[in-house]
Chains A and B, each alone.
Chain A
Amino acid sequence: EAQVTQNPRYLITVTGKKLTVTCSQNMNHEYMSWYRQDPGLGLRQIYYSMNVEVTDKGDVPEGYKVSRKEKRNFPLILESPSPNQTSLYFCASSFDGYSNQPQHFGDGTRLSIL
């Protein structure tokens, strides 16, 4: 089954404690992206990757890092989380980053930073 898998689904942690949210897709997609969803703001892009070793900032990249060492994985790293990063996070992938193909989304990771 084609899917985007995120882990963990839920996490409560404290300010400053580094965390990583993993994302893996099994569709051999070139393009992957991270979004955060906040009430009244919809989804906003954090970072994206056009292919292995190619990443770039989205609209709200501050406080986040990403890496793309393998095609299937695109982890989101919060080096020093702060309460304003409490949000619902979605990873997404699509065939490529050029043809406006629909994106496939994971089920989300709800982060609470205390």
Chain B
Amino acid sequence: GDSVTQMEGPVTLSEEAFLTINCTYTATGYPSLFWYVQYPGEGLQLLLKATKADDKGSNKGFEATYRKETTSFHLEKGSVQVSDSAVYFCALSETGGGNKLTFGTGTQLKVEL
């Protein structure tokens, strides 16, 4: 079946540091890939998405590129802020899969001054 593997957290960075959160996936078809962010006490919000190979999703300074050859969708940001502290989830949705999201376990990011 489908699966998503994320790097374990927590990840602690200083403000303005470079962020990478690794995500790899296993899927039988051609999934769409997503990054969701969860701030404390809130639900998940879509951060960015990519629907086919070599697509780059971007939003709020975050980027991720759909790499079919390495089955990866790593999240990056050039300069993190304290307000980026949250839990980040990588997820996939298979075409024809009833829109079910398969999630990774989440990576907590803490950004300190």
Name A residues whose Cβ lies closer than 8 Å to a Cβ of B.
Answer: 4, 31, 33, 35, 40-45, 48, 50, 56, 58, 90, 92, 94, 96-103, 105-108
Contacts and interface: CB of A to CB of B under 8 A. Distances in A.
Contacts of B46: 102-103
Given A42-B105, A42-B106, A102 B34 contact: yes
A101 B106 contact: no
Nearest to A98: B99
Interface in B93-112: 93, 95-96, 98-101, 103-106
B61 interface: no
Nearest to B92: A100
Interface in B69-113: 89, 93, 95-96, 98-101, 103-106
A48 B43 contact: no
B51 interface: yes
Nearest to A40: B105
A99 B49 CA distance: 13
A33 to B, nearest CB: 7
A43 B87 CA distance: 12
A103 B101 contact: yes
A35 B36 CA distance: 14
A30 to B, nearest CB: 10
Nearest to A91: B43
A92 B91 CA distance: 14
B43 A58 contact: no
Interface string B22-48: 000000000110101000011111100
6 pairs of A and B residues whose beta carbons are closest in the complex = A105-B43, A42-B103, A100-B32, A97-B99, A102-B46, A105-B44
B103 A101 contact: no
A105 B89 contact: no
A101 B98 contact: no
